[in-house]
Amino acid sequence: MKNSQKVFTGSVDKEYPTVDRAEGVYVWDTNGKKYLDCAAGVAVVNIGHGVREVRDAIYEQSKRVSYVYGSTFTSEARERLAEQIISLAPRNMEKVFFCSGGSEALESVIKIARQYHLESGKPKKFKVISRWQSYHGNTVATLSIGGRPSWREKYDPYMSDMPHIAQCNCYRCPYRLSRESCEYVCADELERVIKYEGADTVSAFVLEPITGTTAPAIVPPAGYMAKLREICDRHDVLLCMDEVITGLGRTGKNFAVDHFGVEPDLIAAAKGLGGGYVPIGAVLASSKVVDAFRKGSGNLMHSFTYAGNPVVCAGGSAVIQYLTDNRLVEASAVKGEFFLKLLREELDDHPNVGEIRGKGLLLGLEYVLDRKTKTPFPADRQISSRIAGYCFEKGLLVVFAVPGCADGILGDATQISPPFTIEEADMRKAVEILGDAVRTICI
């Protein structure tokens, strides 16, 4: 089917293949070509495509009631989903604010954190510190805290002046230290910046506990996260996790922060929560945050028209039910280890593969021109997009990372993030195609 060319998309006049249907880990286009979805869309379709229980739940809810305003009525679906989310979350989480996606969730984190400090009698606190080579969404506020220079530069006139610190990236340590002896000096940078900015002006620190598409699957050491928690506590700064990609099992635990034994103050979730069936986002708020509202004005001055929509919540609830009934978080942990092993067997010796990394089914390959110096490829080689393009031709979907994982501008990588239902034969097939892609493109 030819495109209508009436849809205003990223590549303005490109002819996109038209999707026909999807089932499990496979997607078919209208020409009958079959794709193995090792992207899960973009780390969204965690439970796989076409799950009947989810479709049925959405249909049943839409027969009862599809919309009421969330500040007038609640619904059984919204209440059930909030309970399910809290039951999977770190112990200190108490309430869920609903919205329609990841950017809205991060925008809400910024605002809830700000209001928390107002309610607590600290009206000067508003700055949000975040990290370079991160992504927190595509609205103006979330781009301002985001760390993907190429996506920020065109909108620079609108950016709020929010401070950023370096990533914790042991493969490319900004301090050229080794993990064994570094004592997490990259976390100390947070404290330095809080002091420079003035602790009485800093509201929150936001990070992806394990990074997604900007620098796929960088896993920090547990000590780093513990130190961040201490620093935030010392300066009354809320520690906020962007778990839009990692939440709901992607890294083999309910939330990625669970790997580090740390309890954050706010968590944003989105992609896996709706599983691609419904557009949903959520902010989980800890009792510490909720209490400040309780003791203060009692009012959260923030909402969206579609927040907590009953049909959307019924879909999200069925996604979580399916995830837990089929023990898919555990599957993500076990299958992720196996997938990582296969990738290492195939590509560890390749001279242009710098690092193969990840946790659960959030895996990343970083490519380098020179393995010893870790020099990235020049931009005009377009390694990430050409590798993803090669895979696409061969019927394999992977996520190409926006260049910049090495220094913000350069650095090519691939994100592999399949549905948790992927089986061994498909993992082997994916690794074979990826291996061919790397050997063909990186010469």
Ligand X SMILES: Cc1ncc(COP(=O)(O)O)c(C=O)c1O
Closer to ligand X by CB, 81 or 280: give it.
280
Closer to ligand X by CB, 77 or 267: give it.
267
Closer to ligand X by CB, 119 or 208: give it.
208
Q: Is there binding between residue 204 and ligand X (CB under 6 A)?
A: no
Closer to ligand X by CB, 270 or 406: give it.
270
Residue 271 CB, nearest approach to ligand X (Å): 7
Residue nearest to ligand X (CB): 102
Site string for ligand X, 315-344 (x = CB under 6 A): ------------------------------
Q: Is there binding between residue 307 and ligand X (CB under 6 A)?
A: no
Q: Is there binding between residue 145 and ligand X (CB under 6 A)?
A: no
Inter-axis angle of helices 52-64 and 310-325, nearest 10: 150
Q: Is there binding between residue 220 and ligand X (CB under 6 A)?
A: no
Q: Is there binding between residue 136 and ligand X (CB under 6 A)?
A: yes
Closer to ligand X by CB, 101 or 411: give it.
101
Site string for ligand X, 263-292 (x = CB under 6 A): -------x----------------------
CB atoms under 10 Å from CB of 6, counted, come to 5
Residue 268 CB, nearest approach to ligand X (Å): 7
Closer to ligand X by CB, 136 or 335: give it.
136
Per CB under 6 A, contacts with ligand X among 74-133 are 101-103, 106
In order, the DSSP letters of 118-182 are HHTT-TT--EEEEESS----SSHHHHHH---HHHHGGGGGG-----EE----GGG-TT---TTT-
Largest CA distance in the chain: 62
- The residues facing 97 across adjacent strands are 283
Q: Is there binding between residue 137 and ligand X (CB under 6 A)?
A: yes
Closer to ligand X by CB, 106 or 182: give it.
106
Angle at Cα 51 formed by Cα 85 and Cα 360, nearest 5°?
55
Residue 315 CB, nearest approach to ligand X (Å): 15
Q: What is the number of helices (H) and of strands (E) in the chain?
A: 14, 15
> Per residue in 361-380, is it b (16+ CB within 10 Å) or e — as a string?
bbbbbbbbbeeeeeebbeee
Q: Which residue has the tokens 């997607």?
A: 27
Q: Which stretch binds ligand X (CB under 6 A): 21-29, 119-127, 134-142, 147-155?
A: 134-142
Residue 133 CB, nearest approach to ligand X (Å): 12
- List % helix, strand, coil for the chain (3-state, nearest 5): 40, 15, 40
Could you tell me the sign of the dihedral formed by the alpha carbons of 254, 255, 260, 262, in that order?
negative
**Separation of alpha carbons 301 and 293, rounded Å:** 10
Q: Is there binding between residue 245 and ligand X (CB under 6 A)?
A: yes
**Number of residues this chain uses to bind ligand X (CB under 6 A):** 16
**Separation of alpha carbons 138 and 196, rounded Å:** 28
Closer to ligand X by CB, 332 or 352: give it.
332
Site string for ligand X, 35-64 (x = CB under 6 A): -------x----------------------
Burial label for 30, CB within 10 Å (0-12, 13-18, 19+), is exposed
Residue 296 CB, nearest approach to ligand X (Å): 28
**Separation of alpha carbons 360 and 173, rounded Å:** 23
Beta strands 34-37 and 396-397 are parallel
Residue 183 CB, nearest approach to ligand X (Å): 27
User: Is 246:268 a contact under the CB 8 Å cutoff?
Assistant: no
Listed in sequence order, the residues at least 6 apart from 437 whose beta carbon sits closer than 8 Å to its beta carbon are 387, 390, 391, 394
Q: Is there binding between residue 208 and ligand X (CB under 6 A)?
A: yes
Residue ranges in contact with ligand X by CB under 6 A: 42, 101-103, 106, 135-138, 208, 212-213, 242, 244-245, 270
